[in-house]
Each structure stands twice: as structure tokens, then as C-alpha cells.
């Protein structure tokens, strides 16, 4: 029984061919394309408003050098939200429950922010490793601690996204299984459990959007330190 709970996180395959590439590419097909008309439809208008609001809020603390990342951050945000939301549908696969995929997003983007900081302002970038006013005996220890915390950042990004989505999917499946088991024996308890499952599903919809926003927000904070 426990093995079947984790089968939903296994990468799907057909005739031995992994289908994760299709799962990753599918959200881009669902995005509405801009039309050549003077007036857009409601969906494109809503999408444009959402991206503009998100980009303005995300890039407000950054200087003009960081605004070059606006397209990348907005695209990543919409992509992660779409993948997370599609993963809540029945009989679907959520690619962002795979740590390898999330690390593939986190490590290159984090490394890019570090390289930009070392290239543009190496003194300031290295100054983050040693807080001002540190006692001399603590300097080696703090440098080691700050260096470790710097390299843990991409791991924290990937693990946070993976753990939150995995835990939510497992909890939904566990409660749904409990509803089917309790329905013939205790219908009242099963109905109450189904109500809890409905509320949990709404919570997971919020978590799917919030985790995508947190992922991009933390990347913007890392960029803010280096531009």
C-alpha cells in the first residue's frame, strides 16, 4: 500500500521512453498567444495584468541592472504555476515533485547571480561572507559558515519546492483513500473527511501558486545582493 502512494511521483514512461519532456513542454501549449486585434480577450488581458503586477512587485527593490531579468523571472513564475496547477488534476504527473528538475532550475539561476556579483562588484560580493565589525578570532569561522550558507541556497530552493508539493500530494491521496475506506462503514465520518479533503485541495491550490512565487522571489533576493 505504501509503495502505491509513492508511485504517483515516478516519472511516466511509454515503451521505456520517459515522458517527462512532454509533461514539461505541455504547459507552453496551453498559454494563450497574443492576437493581432486591437482589443484582447479576457484571458489575455488577465494574463497581461497578472504578469505586469508580478513583475513590478518583484523588480521594485532592484536597480536597472536587475530589470534585465524581468522576462526570465516572469516566464519562470508562470511556468511553475502552470505545472503545479496541472499536477493537481487527476491522473496527471507533476514534474516539480522531482528534485532533479527543481535543482536544474535552482542551480544555474543561483550560479548566474553569483557570477554577476563576482564580475560586477567582487568586493561587495565577497563582503557578504564577512559581516562588518566581526571580532578577529571569529573571522575564519564566520567565513566558513557564510560560504556554506551560500552554497546551500540552491539546495534549499529545490528541496523547498519538492517537499511542499510532495507532502501535499501525499496528504491528498491519504485522505482520499480514507474517504473510500470509511464510506461503506461510517458514512458520516466519510462525509466529514471528504469536506476536509475539499478544504485541503483548496489549500494545495494556494500552495502551488505560493511556492512558485517564493521560488522566484528568493532568486530575485539573491540577485538583489549581487547587482
* Per-residue pLDDT in tens (0 to 9) along the chain, 227 residues: 445 666 666 776 676 777 777 778 777 777 777 667 777 778 778 888 888 888 888 888 777 777 888 888 888 988 899 899 888 888 888 888 888 889 999 999 999 998 988 888 888 777 777 777 777 787 888 888 888 988 999 999 999 999 999 888 888 888 988 888 888 888 888 899 999 989 999 999 999 999 999 999 899 888 888 87
d(CA 65, CA 28): 28
Distance CA 35, CA 62 (A): 32
Q: Are 55 and 76 in contact (CB under 8 A)?
A: no
Give me the pLDDT at residue 221, please. 87
Q: What pLDDT, on a 0 to 100 scale, did the predictor assign at position 199?
A: 92
Instruction: Please tell me the pTM assigned to this model.
Output: 0.83
Q: Where do the domains of the chain lie?
A: 12-226
For residue 22 the three cell numbers come to 512532454
**With helix as H, strand as E and coil as C, how does 14-82 read?**
ECCEECHHHHHHHHHHHCCCCCCCCCCCHHHHHHHHHHHHHHHHHHCCCCHHHHHHHHHHHHHHHHHHH
Does an H or E element contain 124, and which?
helix 122-127
Amino acid at each position: 500500500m505504501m509503495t502505491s502512494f509513492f508511485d504517483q511521483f515516478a516519472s511516466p514512461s511509454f515503451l521505456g521512453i520517459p515522458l517527462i519532456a512532454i509533461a514539461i513542454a505541455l504547459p507552453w501549449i496551453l498559454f494563450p498567444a497574443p492576437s493581432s486585434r486591437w482589443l484582447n480577450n479576457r484571458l489575455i488581458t488577465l494574463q497581461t495584468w497578472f504578469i505586469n503586477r508580478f513583475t513590478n512587485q518583484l523588480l521594485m527593490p532592484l536597480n536597472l541592472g536587475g530589470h534585465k531579468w524581468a522576462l526570465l523571472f516572469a516566464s519562470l513564475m508562470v511556468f511553475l504555476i502552470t505545472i503545479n496547477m496541472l499536477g493537481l488534476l487527476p491522473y496527471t504527473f507533476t514534474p516539480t515533485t522531482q528534485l532533479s528538475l527543481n535543482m536544474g532550475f535552482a542551480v544555474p539561476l543561483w550560479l548566474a547571480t553569483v557570477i554577476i556579483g563576482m564580475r560586477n562588484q567582487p568586493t561587495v560580493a565577497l563582503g557578504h561572507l564577512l559581516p562588518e565589525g566581526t571580532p578577529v578570532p571569529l573571522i575564519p569561522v564566520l567565513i566558513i559558515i557564510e560560504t556554506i550558507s551560500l552554497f546551500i541556497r540552491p539546495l534549499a530552493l529545490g528541496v523547498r519546492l519538492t517537499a511542499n508539493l510532495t507532502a501535499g500530494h501525499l496528504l491528498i491521496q491519504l485522505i482520499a483513500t480514507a474517504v473510500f475506506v470509511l464510506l461503506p462503514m461510517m458514512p458520516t465520518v466519510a462525509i466529514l473527511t471528504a469536506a476536509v479533503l475539499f478544504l485541503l485541495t483548496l489549500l494545495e491550490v494556494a500552495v502551488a501558486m505560493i511556492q512558485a512565487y517564493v521560488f522566484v522571489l528568493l532568486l530575485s533576493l539573491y540577485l538583489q545582493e549581487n547587482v
